[in-house]
Every structure is written in C-alpha cells, then in structure tokens.
C-alpha cells in the first residue's frame, strides 16, 4: 500500500451522513409492511406495539390481502398510501424484500427497518448487497436486516416485536443481538431503568453504531449511549466516530471460543480483543464487562460531572463503610481526608459513638433525621465533590423515608454534584431503591456497583476533558523509502538487523550507538566509543544468531573485541559453512527497562501499534496494549500508561523510564505503516537518558 493509498484509507469513509435518521426516530408517518391481523405473527405484534405504545403519527398497515388490520385501513403497497411516509418497517419473507424496498424508494420513504432474516447471516450476501445498494442509491437509511425493530420513547414509538412496557428515560441502547435486546427490555423496566431508545442493529448492512452514536450526540433526549457489540464490520469507519456523550460498550467475544461464536452469529469478523480494547480507549468509550455493570454506568451519566476528586461516604453501618472504602481504593476513587474539618461539619449529625472520619458513620441509630442532615451537609459543602450514601436496613428506620429525604435534599440543591446510593435490605429497601432510581439517583444493592458507577462518571469526565489532538504523521524520509524499495527489488522481505536499525533511525526512532563492520579492522574503528558492546553476526541466512555462536555480549575493549571476533567467525563457519557472512553488527550495551514496541496489520483496523514491557516475559505476561494508526503523541502517552505494569516505568529498582522517548518511538514507527507488514522493536531499552531500539526486526 502506498502512502497515498494509506492516507486515503485514513480519510473519512463515512457516506451515511446524508441519511436522515430523524425519519427513523421522529417520523410523521410509519408503514408496517407485512402487518398482519393474526396474533402470534411478527407483523401483527409490531403493528400492535406501535398502536399500543401511543405513537401519535400516522400508521399505515401494508398487506395485499387485507383491507383493514387492527382497526386501521390497510394498503396493498406502500406506493398506494396517499400521505407522506417517513419510515417503513418491513416484515415479509426475504425474497419479497427487494421489490418492497424499490417501492419504498419510489414512494420517497427515507428510512426502512428490515425485520426479515435470511440475508448475510445465512450466507445470502447477494441479497444483502442488493438492498444496501437500493438504500444508498435512494438515500434511504436502512436498519437491519435481521433485526427485531427499534424503540424511541420520546416519540412513544415502539416499532419492535418486543415487550411493550418500556420505561422512558435518557439511555439509548444499541444492540447487535436482537434476542438479548428483547430480554433486556423487560429487565430494564423491572430495574426502573429508563430508555430513550433501543435499536437492534441486526446485520447492520447500512446503519451501524457510528451512525447512531453520532445521531444521538445531537439528541437532547439522550444522556448516555450503551452498546452491546459482537464485532465491528467496518473498523476504519468505526474509528472515525465522534464521541460527545458517554458511550458504554459491552463487547463480547473476548475468549477464543467466544470470538468464533460471535463471528458465526453475525457474519462479522471479531478481531483480537486486545485490539478492540485499544480501539475503545482511543475513541474514549467505556468498556463494561457485564450487562449489570454497563447499565449501572449508563445510569450514572444522568448525574452531573464531579468538580473534583474528594468523595465522602455516609453510612449507618461500619462494615459496609469499610467495604466501600476498599472498593474506592481498588478503583482509584479518592476519599476526602481531612479529619478535623469532617469532625466540625458532621459531628452534629450522629450520636457520640458515631464516627466523623470518612466514611461518616451516623450509626445504626441514624434515622431519617441523621441521614437528611448528613446528606444536606455533604451536598452544601463545596469541599465535597461527590457522595456515596450507604444504608443497611434496620427495624428502627424506614428506608423509604430516608430515600425520600435524600431526594428532597438533592432536588433542593438542583442535583449539584454526583450522588450514588447502595442500600442493603429486604423488600422495604427494594422499594426505596426503586424510588431513588425512579428519581434518577442511581441506587444499587451492592456497594461495588455504586462505587463502580461513580468511578465511571469520573472516567467519563477525564475523557470529556481530553484535549483534542491534531494527528499528522509525516511520511517516512525518502532515504528510508529507497532502502526498503531496494531490498524489495532483490526479492527480500526481511530486513537485516543493521538495515532495520538504520530505517528506524531515519524515521526518528532513537537507537543506541551502533555500527556495521565488514571485517575486524572496520569493527575496531567503529567500536572506539561504543564499549561495552554486543557483537552479532550479520548474514541473511542466519536467523537464530545465538544458536550458531553468532552473538557475543559485554565486550569491554579492543582486545576482547578481536578475540571474540575470531571465536565468532570460527564457530559460525563451522556451524553454517554455506552462510553468506556480511560482517558483524556492533551495538552499545544499554541498561534499563526492556520494552517492546511493535507495528502490525489487523484485518479489521489496518495498521496497529503495540506497546508493552518486553524482554523474556513478554510472551507469558502478554501485558501489552494497542492503538490504531494514526494517532498522536498524547494518545501514545495514554498507550504507555495503559499496560498493567505501567508503574514500573515510573521507577523500578533505581531505573526510571524516559517516557518522552518511548512516545517518540511510538510516533515515529507509524511513518513506516504504509511500507511494512510488521515491525518488532524488542527490546526498546529505556532509562533516564532516553530509550534505545536495541534490537529490531522489520518484515515487508
């Protein structure tokens, strides 16, 4: 791939921006093609849901055999409908979909939701390509096919064959899986989680996650977006998604077996999970690991963003307070630590034996008055930036009274800072939890859920405050391009060590002092200011150099160099008499932390860069993280801090990493993305003086 090709590849691929998603979510008229009078049929249920859920626009059943369906006049085709239709929900067998879609185009319909199965998911890709073509040609936004429909509560529109009891709210839930979305519709209603929208993407032959995220970015009815994803169809397109609101993503298929199941389920490719992880981080999506967690987080985004770090816990139980403190420490939420101030403010809210340390423990005796007072103080004091309220049910307190008092105080200050709640108890407590959730105060039965939800809000704040970065990767210098072209022209695909190091150096990757010498006299001259050094045999035929005696380390002076050189030549020519020996590589020995920086090509996302701790444990620990090319230096900084062992880089046994030069390395190797298949810099040794590509392998 040439530079021009690659940079075209980076350019915006989005062609859906012209498509009108208002026609999907805020239609004036909706047609149901395949609407049926027969209960149990999908076309019956969709029409019934649209009518029962109170959609106020015009509803047009389409059925060639019925004059009326569910009390509404039916039409033989969409073209017969005399008024304007914005969206058609299509629920007729697959072979009939194409002609219906053409009819929709002639009628000027701007959106369709194709419920019908039997397309790419069963190998019928031709039909799917055809419907996508018709949609593109006529500028129709196409949802599905193979979907269960969608819901948009601000329009009271339930165009699905799922349950009808959807709770209105401000979360938009986008699900690749239909069955799962249907089941979660009931669950969210039970859990008092309100939804603004629920969209099942199905095969996402046209409208996908990016289109919907960007639509909801501008929809005031949506506070947060939650996505259930099995795989991405167009990796590069997804990478261009503009993130303006918190997006929680639940991506399944991280195990090898899971990835296989997801691929066969959706017909889409599930790439390596670590690469997906990198994509989500690069875009600023919050990845949850369970449905509960995803919804816990999504709920938290109805809260205002915290203005600082200091969290206060208010509790009536010591144990639950300690458990919450542990959770806060585990996720990195910092508790306000100012005992004198806390004593002064909170003492009056509790009996003498209560504790004003954070957690503020108003004791089991603390009832509605104590809670009201403590919560009021926490809300009014600017020094406190977020609040976690805990409650253990006791016979002497009424959880509902406490929940109501909390809500009153919160409304009185116009929800000025984030408050999350965890309540443990029986039925009375459940009712109080529901009351709080109904009033948009995220309330949970587990303290870990409350802490995790609050942490998600802090994470989102960090993402929302990220400075935007103009990403511009310069092309590799001409000298490097010429070198690579020359190597290619003689049919070689692997660069020799000194060639690889030279190419990297030309692109701006820092290297230790090094030299290539064709004989011992050249080696002596080049080695002068390099000791201690390592010497390695240079031969295109010898890949595993140490196996044939082709590596000598810790050479301190000229005398040792001469001795080691002779030994090496004898050993190598004995082991591989036919090898073409070009000379030796001399590399200054470096001390520091061993890292690995790599570049490879992912089938979904194209060129990706990997960073991790290197050396002998790299394979076993797999503590590496990815980003997708191209990305800037700020993102490279985040990539470095992503790995689990990132703390080591801040200083370990007196050795400290030089993060700026690691960033420089990560930035620089991106210049080679259009020219190579793979780069492995292992190790990149980093110490306080810089980072040095000690060994490198480049495959074309």
Q: Which residues bind ligand COA (CB under 6 A)?
A: 33-34, 36-38, 41-43, 62-66, 91-93, 96, 100, 115-118, 146-148, 178-179, 200
Q: What is the largest CA-CA distance in the chain?
A: 102
Alpha-carbon gap, residue 141 to 215, rounded angstroms:
12
Residue closer to ligand COA (CB basis): 95 or 339: 95
Alpha-carbon gap, residue 97 to 109, rounded angstroms:
15
Q: Minimum Å distance from CB 178 to ligand COA?
A: 2
Q: Minimum Å distance from CB 100 to ligand COA?
A: 6
Residue closer to ligand COA (CB basis): 63 or 452: 63
Q: Minimum Å distance from CB 391 to ligand COA?
A: 40
Alpha-carbon gap, residue 48 to 36, rounded angstroms:
10
Residue closer to ligand COA (CB basis): 77 or 365: 77
| Matching residue, tokens 């000690």 | 694
Alpha-carbon gap, residue 612 to 634, rounded angstroms:
17
| Matching residue, tokens 């969709």 | 46
Question: Do 647 and 487 meet the contact criterion of CB atoms below 8 Å apart?
Answer: no
Residue closer to ligand COA (CB basis): 60 or 631: 60
If 0-12 CB within 10 Å is exposed, 13-18 middle and 19+ buried, where does residue 595 land? Answer: buried
Tokens of 182: 């249907």
Q: Minimum Å distance from CB 84 to ligand COA?
A: 19
Tokens of 204: 């996402």
Q: Minimum Å distance from CB 43 to ligand COA?
A: 5
Cβ-proximal residue to ligand COA, closest one: 178
Q: Minimum Å distance from CB 475 to ligand COA?
A: 46
DSSP type of residue 75: B
Task: Give buried/exposed letters for 200-210 (b at 16+ CB in 10 A, else e).
Answer: bbbbbbbbbbb
Q: Are strands 111-114 and 141-143 parallel, antiparallel or unpaired?
A: parallel
Helix %, strand %, coil % of the chain (to 5): 40, 20, 35
Alpha-carbon gap, residue 394 to 58, rounded angstroms:
53
Residue closer to ligand COA (CB basis): 159 or 685: 159
Residue closer to ligand COA (CB basis): 69 or 285: 69
Q: In whole angstroms, how far apart are CA 485 and each of 279, 493, 494?
A: 31, 10, 12
Residue 69 parent element (H or E): strand 68-69
Q: Minimum Å distance from CB 79 to ligand COA?
A: 11
The CA-CA-CA angle for residues 469, 473, 475, to 5°, reads 165
The CA-CA-CA angle for residues 629, 633, 637, to 5°, reads 100
| Matching residue, tokens 């185009």 | 105
Q: Minimum Å distance from CB 99 to ligand COA?
A: 7
Cβ count within 10 A of residue 182: 18
Residue closer to ligand COA (CB basis): 100 or 668: 100
Tokens of 544: 């595993």
Cβ count within 10 A of residue 129: 12
Alpha-carbon gap, residue 408 to 391, rounded angstroms:
17
HSE, side-chain direction, 13 A CA sphere, residue 130: 14
Beta bridge partners of 247: 225
Q: Minimum Å distance from CB 19 to ligand COA?
A: 22
Residue closer to ligand COA (CB basis): 135 or 506: 135
Alpha-carbon gap, residue 497 to 464, rounded angstroms:
43
Residue closer to ligand COA (CB basis): 96 or 699: 96
Residue closer to ligand COA (CB basis): 10 or 161: 161
Q: Minimum Å distance from CB 168 to ligand COA?
A: 23
Q: Minimum Å distance from CB 120 to ligand COA?
A: 13
Q: Minimum Å distance from CB 181 to ligand COA?
A: 8
Q: Minimum Å distance from CB 280 to ligand COA?
A: 25
Q: Minimum Å distance from CB 209 to ligand COA?
A: 17
Residue closer to ligand COA (CB basis): 209 or 635: 209
Beta bridge partners of 602: 606
Residue closer to ligand COA (CB basis): 44 or 458: 44
Helix (H, G, I), strand (E, B) or coil at 652: strand
DSSP type of residue 334: P
Q: What's the alpha-carbon Rg for the chain, to the nearest Å?
A: 31
Residue closer to ligand COA (CB basis): 81 or 698: 81
Alpha-carbon gap, residue 339 to 318, rounded angstroms:
17
Residue closer to ligand COA (CB basis): 146 or 241: 146
């Amino acid at each position: 791939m040439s530079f021009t090709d690659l940079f075209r590849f980076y350019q915006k691929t989005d062609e859906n921006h012209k498509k009108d998603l208002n026609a999907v979510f805020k239609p004036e008229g909706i047609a149901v093609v395949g609407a049926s009078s027969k209960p149990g049929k999908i076309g019956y249920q969709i029409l019934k849901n649209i009518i029962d859920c109170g959609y106020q626009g015009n509803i047009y059943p389409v059925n060639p055999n019925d004059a009326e369906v569910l009390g509404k006049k039916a039409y033989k085709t969409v073209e017969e409908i005399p008024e304007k239709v914005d969206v058609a929900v299509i629920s007729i067998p697959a072979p009939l979909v194409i002609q219906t879609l053409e009819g929709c185009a002639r009628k000027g319909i701007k959106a369709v939701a194709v419920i019908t199965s039997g397309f790419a998911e069963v190998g019928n890709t031709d039909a799917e390509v055809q419907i996508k073509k018709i949609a593109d040609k006529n500028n129709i936004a196409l949802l599905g096919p193979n979907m269960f429909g969608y819901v948009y509560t601000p329009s009271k529109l339930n165009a699905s064959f799922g349950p009808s009891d959807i709770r209105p709210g401000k979360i938009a839930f986008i699900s690749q899986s239909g069955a799962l979305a249907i089941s979660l519709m009931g669950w969210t209603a039970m859990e008092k989680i309100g939804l603004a929208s629920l969209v099942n993407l199905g095969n996402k032959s046209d409208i996908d996650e990016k289109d919907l995220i960007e639509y909801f970015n501008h929809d005031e009815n949506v506070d947060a977006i939650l996505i259930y994803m099995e795989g991405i169809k167009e990796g590069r397109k997804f990478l261009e998604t503009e993130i303006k609101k918190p997006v929680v993503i639940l991506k399944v298929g991280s195990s090898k077996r899971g990835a296989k199941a997801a691929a066969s389920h959706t017909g889409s490719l599930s790439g390596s999970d670590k690469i997906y992880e990198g994509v989500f981080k690069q875009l600023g999506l919050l990845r949850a690991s369970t449905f509960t967690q995803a919804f816990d987080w999504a709920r938290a985004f109805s809260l205002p963003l915290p203005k600082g770090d200091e969290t206060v816990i208010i509790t009536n139980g010591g144990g639950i307070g300690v458990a919450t403190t542990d959770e806060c420490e585990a996720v990195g939420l910092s508790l306000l630590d100012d005992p004198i101030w806390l004593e002064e403010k909170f003492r009056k809210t509790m009996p003498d034996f209560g504790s004003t340390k954070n957690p503020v423990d108003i004791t089991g005796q603390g009832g509605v008055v104590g809670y009201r007072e403590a919560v009021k103080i926490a809300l009014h004091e600017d020094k406190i930036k977020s609040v976690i309220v805990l409650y253990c049910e006791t016979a002497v307190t009424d959880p509902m009274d406490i929940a109501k008092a909390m809500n009153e105080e919160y409304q009185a200050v116009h929800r000025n800072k984030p408050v999350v709640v965890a309540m443990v108890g029986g039925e009375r407590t459940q009712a109080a939890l529901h009351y709080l959730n109904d009033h948009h105060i995220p309330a949970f039965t587990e303290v870990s859920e409350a802490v995790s939800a609050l942490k998600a809000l802090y994470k989102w704040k960090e993402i929302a405050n990220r400075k935007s970065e103009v990403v511009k990767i310069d092309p590799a210098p001409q000298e490097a391009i010429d070198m690579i072209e020359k190597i290619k022209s003689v049919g070689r695909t692997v660069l020799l060590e000194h060639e690889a190091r030279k190419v990297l150096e030309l692109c701006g990757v820092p290297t230790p002092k090094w030299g290539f010498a064709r004989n011992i006299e050249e080696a002596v001259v080049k080695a002068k200011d390099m000791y201690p050094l390592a010497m390695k045999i240079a031969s295109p035929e010898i890949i595993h150099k140490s196996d044939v005696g082709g590596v000598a380390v810790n050479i301190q002076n000229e005398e040792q160099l001469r001795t080691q050189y002779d030994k090496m030549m004898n050993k190598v020519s004995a082991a591989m008499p036919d090898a073409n020996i070009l000379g030796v590589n001399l590399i200054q020995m470096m001390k520091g932390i061993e890292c690995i920086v790599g570049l490879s090509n992912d089938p979904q996302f194209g060129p990706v860069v990997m960073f991790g701790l290197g050396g002998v444990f790299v394979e076993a620990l797999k503590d590496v993280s990815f980003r997708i090319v191209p990305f800037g230096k700020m993102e490279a900084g985040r990539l470095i801090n992503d790995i689990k062992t990132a703390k080591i880089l801040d200083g370990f046994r007196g050795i400290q990493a030089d993060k700026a030069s690691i960033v420089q390395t990560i930035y620089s190797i991106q210049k080679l993305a259009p020219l190579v298949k793979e780069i492995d810099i292992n190790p990149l040794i980093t110490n306080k003086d810089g980072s040095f590509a000690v060994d490198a392998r480049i495959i074309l």
